[in-house]
Structure 1
Amino acid sequence: MADLAALPKDWVVTSGQFTRKAFTNVYPAIDPTKAENSLKGKTVVVTGASRGLGARGIAPAFVKAGVKAIVLSATKAATLASVEEDLKKINPDVEILAVSADISSRDQVEKAWIEINARFDKVHILVNNAGVETTDSDKTHKLDPDIFFRNFEVNVKGTHMMTQQFLKAAIPWATATDPARLINMTSSSAWGVWPFLAAYSNSKAAMIHYTATAAASYPGTVLAIAVNPGLNDTEIIPSALREANFHYNDPALTGAALVWLVADPARSQFLNGRVLTVEWDVEELVARKEEITSKNLLTMQLNATLGAEQFAK
């Protein structure tokens, strides 16, 4: 692997560009305060909402977009008090429910959704933001299985259990014009090879395929998109990346990008079951819609030509 410290400081962004323009801050098209990005009347659940991207980027963007209600989920609900205070400064009228749930616990997830469903008739949007990074070695034979699979307990199993409860409640009302909207956070490490992030990157790779499967399971009634937030200055950044001093994204960029994705399902339907990075220009993505769908881009596939027809004479 290359010496990370020797790479340009914007390498994380430029090496992963799919669109000509790349952003690290909120730009006009995804401004959550714009009318075309309004989420008026909607209810959203955000996991991992007590810190990092959830608290500083995602939750504020949804409140700026005008959601009627926001459910903030964290392992300890008491840690959400300051987040609630900040959101009320944005919109004093937004309804906020703080729920305590370790998403790796089936009992806690089910209890959280009993509380959520008792409070709200509909939850329109689920953002599976909670995650951990616990890789303890860059050598496969040294990876402690319990530590390795902690990533899967939270990042995969936890995401699945939250998604399952969300869909159970949403399937009765979800339609093609008003689908249940599901965002699963992933990582660019999912399609790279990063031994020092082995546990994390493997779990995040699983989430890309999981998202595609969820989209295919409910054609027309579920909008499911996997999103890479790029590099952000959060608690789970491993030391090797932090020491490289790469440029960080503004957390607000991720929040605004997620709002754009779920505000108008007809606009973003072509991204259903796919993965994208928040730095990519959404207007260029829309302009490349036919290319993306016809070539099945932004998906994880086996890099090979398959099928008996290739051998036909």
Structure 2
Amino acid sequence: MSEVLPIAVGLIGYGNAGRIYHAPFLTALPQFRLRKVSTRRAAPLPGDAVRVDSAEEVLADEAIELVIIAAPNHRHADLARAALRAGKHVVVDKPFTLNAAEADELITLAQEQQRLLTVYHNRRLTSDFRTVRQVMSSGLLGRVVEYEAHFDRYRPGILAGSWKEEDVPGSGILYDMGAHLIDQAVQLFGYPQAVAADLRVQRRHGAAIDSFDLSLRYPDLKVTLKGSMLAGDAFPQFTVLGEQGSFIKRGRDIQEDALRSGASPTETPGWGREPEAYWGSLTTAHAGLDLTAVVKSEPGDYGLFYRNLYAAVREGAELLVKPREARNVIRILELAQQSSREQRPVPFAE
């Protein structure tokens, strides 16, 4: 077995994204060494990471090879640009940028600098989505004709002090969870012919979009992506209908709660394995019989993103999340906003 040469990492931002979704893997996996964290938070840092006050202090450290950008969405493009110009490989937390033009600029810059650039679309690696993909690939549903995915919360009050609740570029749940649902759908079905959307601010005194209903238009397939902050009784995460059967999956991936509780992704037995109560329900026709079955969930593992990233940096492996894919998610987000403003479907074009 070859010796592991850890990648020195700088993390910019230590809010929920940096603290919950990135730092635990950067400290638990031997392939990485979290060297510096740019934050003004008073929370303790993991391992031997050093706190610094500015992103510039991270970028100036010549020992750092990889920079993770987990700052507010409107800062993604500027910080990624600076990191690439400093000669670093870059991971941007989703959403990649605020618009496709910014994403195009970063992709070109990464190529010029000969550095890797990718986006943390970790919800390709959740238990629920991996299970849906496995069921669809099994052929038990036959030709899929309809797919509906939800990411719902119940928070009727406005979270004070959160930029995500303000009327600023990149705020609201469209750029938050909508980006993930779009990425998942495109992984399954490719790019749509058109995008239609209904975007709303439903909560009293709300300023940012807190409800979205997206339709991705395909010739023989209906794809609906929905999210709400007023879903007291959550809908199924996924509903998939096919000519030969259907699959319904409830229960949100358990990794997020485990990470919030401080569990280690490498030392927790059964990491990412859902309890039986979360397993999905399959109804299908086979050999003239109508069958109903419970489908054991595939394990989720966000760590696969970072293991792939290490292989890409050290061994030249293909990136799990290619920057062009993440850019096209942003393009669909742009078209969704245009569709909602104009109240019409908008053709998809890169």
Q: TM-score, normalised by structure 1?
A: 0.45
Higher helix proportion (structure 1 or 2): 1
Higher relative contact order (CA 8 A, sep 6+): 1
Higher strand proportion (structure 1 or 2): 2
